[in-house]
Amino acid sequence: MAENDEDTLAAAQRRVEEVLLGGRREYTRGEVCAKAGVPLERAMSLWRALGFATVGDDEVVFTESDAETLRMTDELMSAGILEPELATATARMLGQHLSRLAEWEVDVLRGVLAANPELLTDERQLGRLVERLVPDLERMHNFAWRRHLAAYAGRALAAPGDIESRSQVVGFADMVGFTTRTRRADEAELVRLVDRFDLVTAEVVAENHGRIVKMLGDEVLFVVDDPEHGAEIALRLLERAAAEPELPALRAGLAYGRVLSRFGDVYGSVVNIASRLTSAARPGTVLVDKGLANALVDAAHFTTRSRRPVSVRGYSRLRHSVLRRAGTEPAGLVDLVQQRAADLLGLGVDEEEDEGMPSIELHPDDERRARKRRRR
């Protein structure tokens, strides 16, 4: 690249940065803290939580907007609205989610520049383009944030008790054979595959009042309050995938019980059980734990059929059932033989025996070995 081209590109980069940051870099970290009236240690803790590297004492990195935001955050903490630990956790969550959004939006901008290379040679035109785009993007962000805030606030205020820990359906669904497919496909094909999977899951989960917690490459994790909605999401995902030529078969696992929600993520044994059931499911099937099977007993549109417990990581006897739509149960010989064998071996669900017991009966391996030694 010629020296003039490098100078032009550097000038364009500086112009874009000024527009995005709302001004030039003017302050070192000591200067911005003094201007905001915030201790250096607290400011740098928030800076790192947002996902930015520590800067040197003499580096001129911060803008007037940085000082204003730092001052506002400190005022919220001083007023008791934000505890210091909560402020750091909030900054970490914002940094993780918004960095992904920023990466996607920069990729979009790169596509525009690739189609219009003349913009890179004229920093004023490029600056005007960014100045026009940023307010529109901000309005889109604000609209989506307020809509989600209103929806979640409505659910939280209407729900009695602890809003961080309540009973929910947790579900996983993943693409079967994705790893093998990635070895054979080129990048463009993988992009189409992942984009299509993301689109289908977003539509199905939203249509049935659920929430996507996160996309994990070839897998989606979602939660929903109503058991029937959870069952519908899982089955609809499998049906949509079967009808989509670009998508491989899916498999899913669902569990129902108390879930801890923290900064948009979910934790607890219910999450672990749903994940393990997904790993144990065959292509095109949905496995559910006993808690969800019980919750669906009176559901007119779904049926569950218990299966013999499986041994998975963390659970030596994980009780589960196969979920299907009502009227679609297979009458095959293998299915009937498996169910009969489970009944004869005493592995079916015994409602009297299990009344009041946890939905999953756990037998750690060390306890089982101890019982064997005592019998000897």
Angle in degrees, CA 195, 198, 201, rounded to 5: 145
Q: Average model confidence (pLDDT) for the chain?
A: 82
* Model pLDDT for residues 92-113, shown as the tens digit of each residue: 888 888 888 888 888 888 888 8
Share of residues in the chain with pLDDT > 70 (%) = 83
Distance CA 332, CA 338 (A): 10
What is residue 320's three-state secondary structure? strand
* Model pLDDT for residues 185-207, shown as the tens digit of each residue: 888 888 889 999 999 999 999 99
What is residue 269's three-state secondary structure? helix
Q: What is the pLDDT of residue 11?
A: 73
pLDDT-based confidence at residue 184 (cuts at 50, 70, 90): confident
174, pLDDT greater than 50: yes
Nearest to 209 by CA among 141, 264, 156, 151: 151
End-to-end alpha-carbon separation of the chain, Å? Answer: 80
The reported pTM is: 0.69
Distance CA 72, CA 334 (A): 66
51, pLDDT greater than 80: yes
What is residue 315's three-state secondary structure? strand
Per mean pLDDT, which range of 126-135, 145-154, 161-170, 220-229 is the poorest? 161-170
List C-alpha distances in Å: 269 to 146, 223, 298, 330, 364.
Answer: 31, 14, 25, 31, 15
Q: What is the pLDDT of residue 341?
A: 53
Start-end ranges of CATH 3.30.70.1230 in the chain? 162-375
Q: What is the DSSP letter of 268?
A: S
Q: What is the pLDDT of residue 242?
A: 94
Range of 100-109, 290-299, 315-324, 332-341 with top mean pLDDT: 290-299
According to the CATH classification, is domain 162-375 in 3.30.70.1230?
yes
Q: What is the pLDDT of residue 360?
A: 38
* Model pLDDT for residues 342-363, shown as the tens digit of each residue: 444 444 433 333 333 333 333 4
